[in-house]
Structure 1
Amino acid sequence: MLNLILLSMIFISFKVKMWWITQNFFFFFFFFFFFMYFKIPLYNYFSNISYLFGMDMFSYLMFMLGLWIISLVYLASVNIKLFYSMYFNILMFIFIIIFYFCFFSMNFILFYIFYEINLIPIIILIYGWGYQYERFKAGFYLFIYMIFFSLPFFSCLLYLNKINFIFMYYFSYCNNFNGYFFFLLMMIFLVKIPLFMFHIWLPKAHVEAPISGSMILAGIMLKLGGFGIYHVLMLIFKINLKLNFYLISLSLFGMLILSMVCFLQSDLKILIAYSSVIHMGLVIIGFLTLNYWGYCGSLLLMVGHGLCSSGLFCLSNICYLRFKSRSLFLNKGLINLYPYLSFWWFLLCSSNMSFPPSLNLFGELMLLINLMMWLDLLYFYYFILMILMFLYSLYLYLYTQYGKLIFNMNYLVYINLSEYLLLFLHWLPLNLIFLLMELFF
């Protein structure tokens, strides 16, 4: 049944004037997958296992998040409905196929192949629908970072193949790893998530990408890095116990530095992109501590961040379409012009601050407890980080909603109902999933 749905979407993608039908098809696919597999992976560790594919709670939630974000991409990308929409539909279909193979594969080789193939459609999206000439530099940065760190990972896989290693998840274990293997296997995912000092490609890619590219990058692409870290740590958990201190220290230091860098940004997209790097630093810490609280907190924060960050990028795009600028110095006083839009700014910025009942709150609380169990001397440092993460979200909200209006902008373009629906569909699952919290444990 699933194969028939995916094959039928191929033919729909070639119809230029079927934009909303394709979007509704993605929604149908989401709810079909949700009701078909809802109770199986959450109560059992594995389900639907075959030789190459299988499902657990992590892969199920990540794929459901990907389907939800792809379906919302159509609501956010109405402006390109009349321009090359056939190619856009095909590209979204390719994304779904790649995410399916990435999240449900049970083999390291298969996962690596589609993990790298995923780079091609996102670069096409940036090059084809990007805004400025600098998009070529952003795509080049993305390509170089990913390829440079993927080749060492591939060389490690070749070495494992030489010693007759079993590449299936959950059945793989090797005692011959040293520190070099640890960093070679981890860096491909730490760059994708991304880790501080290897994050330069992310703000550039977000600034030059269209709204669809920003939503896919923030909502799904970064989660592939966390998904890879989770599976690789099962393989190298012994050496991780000796070396995780260095990566956790780098993540904590990077979160502090980037939290202060956020106050110096004047571009909405760059500020939200740095916020993504900070939240993903928490996810890295949660996985590296090898604690059940860290695992659950990282999973919750990845789902919450995917919805919250994607919604904030949609808000910045709505302002860009009206004011033709993402500058904080020009997007001021919006509460006087669009009070309803200001309300959505408040809701999503408060979710980014981890206010209740957003999913970010539960994820960060669990990661705080996990960090205290790992090293209780860090409580004051983490307290400072929480204050800074609250302040830069407050800075983003206050600086855009209050201040003196710039009167050379076009204020007469109204906010469409579809744009309010887009923001609502980001906010609703972000603040209602806490009702199902017992299913995560």
Structure 2
Amino acid sequence: MLMIFLFIFFVLIFLSFNKNWWLLQNFFFFFFFFMYFNIPLMSYFLNISYMFGMDMFSYLMFMLGIWIITLVYIPSINLKIFYYFYFNIFMFIFLIIFFFCFFSDNYILFYIFYKINLISILILIYGWGYKFERFKAGFYLILYIIFFSLPFFLCLLNLNALYMMFMYYFNFINNLNLFYYFFLLMIFLVKMPLFMFHIWLPKAHVEPPISGSMILAAIMLKLGGFGMFKILMLIFNCNMKFNFYLISLCLLGMLILSLICFLQSDLKILIPYSSVVHMSLVIMGLLIFNNWSYCGSLILMVGHGLCSSGLFCLSNICYLPFKSRSMFLNKGLINMFSFLSFWWFLLCSSNMSFPFSLNLFGAIFLLMSLMIWLDYLYMIYFLIMIVMFLYSLYLYLYTQYGMLFFNMNYLFYINLSEYFLLFLHWFPLNIFFLFMEIYI
């Protein structure tokens, strides 16, 4: 762990004085493969110490974070992003924050960097956002996260005086009431987010640049799932008594938000609503908390991180010739950008859990865990999956067919780097099914 941290720190010092954009991206590529080939995966727990440690959940989330930060550099150069020196610093700050969040061995240390992460995403929204509404989006984000963070912190301090608050010390707490259960989980349920606490998410996705949307969709939501998994290890017995209420809310929210997706006309709002539906599946799997649901939630989080980030890249590419995110204007793309339509098909099919994407295997695992937990709920789950399939099909058909908007930029062309960006999203999403033994 110390080797990884020192490696990041010294490279940060070296590259902070270098203005080569592609050198920074190549560093992240190198660091990804360095982590991939130097971490042994023979056991579930790795490098456990007094300060840091990792398991399969934290390792895969950190690897997903490195991969998405690597891909962020490809579309950001086309936006001619200003203050690129500070942007590079922020990418390294994100990497260090993810390191401390995913590899922390103490709940207090995890909470501190969890809140620092909020400050960094706010600066990204305020500093590189496009419109004045970015201040409203940042205010919504602060309001939801801060409101539930103080009760969580007070509960954590109270429990820290009674129990050893180490993440890898399996001392289940039994004597907790419903208020403790609610306050300990709600900070992560808001971050994922849970239905009725999701109002900040579409606004926070619309206002930042494409880099902010990719990081927020692919990594920030996964921090909530990771924190929820670690807290549920501590309050396992309490969760078995109260999880029925939250699971019922997740099922209801998935059905309502899936229907709301049909009413959206903004590409960059429809994709966050679909993310809320997928994250409700993850919440439900983590609350059930058996082996099948754990594996399904982990698979779905990795698959959703790649798929939603790729869809945001596609919406950004379509924004450039039309200068609008409206689905009423982004029509007939198959007539003008036929190869781009092929990537729309691949990513929309992955979003609807089409073989052989990770979303399919995650959905199957969660269906089996739900049938084990309460058998008659699978009918509701099947209904929700049908609606999820239909709104992904609606997104594809509505954008690809129809008449072209007459006022679009017909001289616009798509760079090879953007096709390469989409390929780097789709390829790991559909090839990791060959390595399913990592998750199980």
Deviates more, 1:307-316 or 1:228-237: 228-237
How much has 1:14 moved relative to structure 2?
Answer: 2.7
- Corresponding residue for residue 240 of structure 1: 239
The AA in structure 2 aligned to 1:14 is S
Q: Secondary structure at the match of 1:77?
A: helix
Deviates more, 1:166-175 or 1:230-239: 166-175
How much has 1:237 moved relative to structure 2?
Answer: 1.2
- Corresponding residue for residue 59 of structure 1: 58
How much has 1:236 moved relative to structure 2?
Answer: 1.0
1:181-330 matched pairs, under 5 angstroms? 181-330=180-329
Separation in 1, partners of 2:355, 2:160? 48
- After superposition, the C-alpha distances for 1:320-376 in whole angstroms (9 at most, x for unaligned) are 122110000000000000001000000000000100000000000000111111111
- Corresponding residue for residue 174 of structure 1: 173
- Corresponding residue for residue 13 of structure 2: 11
Separation in 2, partners of 1:117, 1:286? 27
Separation in 2, partners of 1:158, 1:365? 38
Mapped contact 1:16–1:85 kept (Cα < 8 A): no
Mapped contact 1:19–1:81 kept (Cα < 8 A): no
The AA in structure 2 aligned to 1:23 is Q
Separation in 2, partners of 1:407, 1:415? 19
Separation in 1, partners of 2:341, 2:50? 50
- After superposition, the C-alpha distances for 1:186-216 in whole angstroms (9 at most, x for unaligned) are 0000000100000000000001111011100
The AA in structure 2 aligned to 1:195 is L
Deviates more, 1:5-14 or 1:308-317: 5-14
The AA in structure 2 aligned to 1:108 is Y
Q: Secondary structure at the match of 2:327?
A: coil
Which stretches in structure 2 are left out of the alignment for 5+ residues?
Answer: none
The AA in structure 2 aligned to 1:232 is I
Identify if the C-alpha distance between structure 1 residues 14 and 150 changes in structure 2 by more than 3 Å, giving closer, same or farther: same
- Corresponding residue for residue 25 of structure 2: 23
Separation in 2, partners of 1:318, 1:130? 17
How much has 1:62 moved relative to structure 2?
Answer: 0.3
Separation in 2, partners of 1:321, 1:181? 48
Q: Secondary structure at the match of 1:61?
A: helix
1:42-57 matched pairs, under 5 angstroms? 43-57=42-56
The AA in structure 2 aligned to 1:430 is L
1:42-441 matched pairs, under 5 angstroms? 43-81=42-80, 83-163=82-162, 165-171=163-169, 172-441=171-440
Mapped contact 1:9–1:22 kept (Cα < 8 A): no
The AA in structure 2 aligned to 1:261 is I
Deviates more, 1:152-161 or 1:108-117: 152-161
The AA in structure 2 aligned to 1:20 is W
- After superposition, the C-alpha distances for 1:18-71 in whole angstroms (9 at most, x for unaligned) are 11100110110000011001xx24x31211111110011001000000000000
Separation in 1, partners of 2:298, 2:284? 12
Q: TM-score, normalised by structure 1?
A: 0.97
Separation in 2, partners of 1:309, 1:204? 16
Mapped contact 1:75–1:419 kept (Cα < 8 A): yes
Q: Secondary structure at the match of 1:411?
A: coil
How much has 1:176 moved relative to structure 2?
Answer: 2.4
Q: Secondary structure at the match of 1:35?
A: helix
Identify if the C-alpha distance between structure 1 residues 412 and 365 changes in structure 2 by more than 3 Å, giving closer, same or farther: same
Mapped contact 1:286–1:298 kept (Cα < 8 A): yes
Separation in 1, partners of 2:198, 2:11? 35
Q: Secondary structure at the match of 1:205?
A: helix
- After superposition, the C-alpha distances for 1:294-317 in whole angstroms (9 at most, x for unaligned) are 000000000000000000000000
The AA in structure 2 aligned to 1:271 is L
Q: Which runs of 4+ in 1 moved over 6 A?
A: none
How much has 1:6 moved relative to structure 2?
Answer: 1.1
Separation in 1, partners of 2:311, 2:97? 25
- After superposition, the C-alpha distances for 1:381-413 in whole angstroms (9 at most, x for unaligned) are 111111100000000000000011111111211
Mapped contact 2:290–2:369 kept (Cα < 8 A): yes
Q: Does 1:2 align with 2:26?
A: no
- After superposition, the C-alpha distances for 1:123-149 in whole angstroms (9 at most, x for unaligned) are 111111111110000001001111100
Q: Secondary structure at the match of 1:118?
A: helix
How much has 1:81 moved relative to structure 2?
Answer: 4.7
Separation in 1, partners of 2:10, 2:383? 52
Mapped contact 1:311–1:426 kept (Cα < 8 A): yes
Q: TM-score, normalised by structure 2?
A: 0.97
Mapped contact 1:359–1:430 kept (Cα < 8 A): yes
The AA in structure 2 aligned to 1:167 is M
Count of aligned pairs: 437
The percentage of aligned residue pairs carrying the same residue is 72
The AA in structure 1 aligned to 2:30 is F
Which stretches in structure 1 are left out of the alignment for 5+ residues?
Answer: none
Separation in 2, partners of 1:322, 1:131? 17
Separation in 1, partners of 2:160, 2:34? 38
Separation in 2, partners of 1:308, 1:88? 24
- After superposition, the C-alpha distances for 1:250-297 in whole angstroms (9 at most, x for unaligned) are 000000000000000000011000000000000011011121100000
How much has 1:8 moved relative to structure 2?
Answer: 3.2
How much has 1:13 moved relative to structure 2?
Answer: 4.3
The AA in structure 2 aligned to 1:129 is W
Mapped contact 1:12–1:18 kept (Cα < 8 A): no
Separation in 1, partners of 2:168, 2:15? 37
Mapped contact 2:172–2:236 kept (Cα < 8 A): no
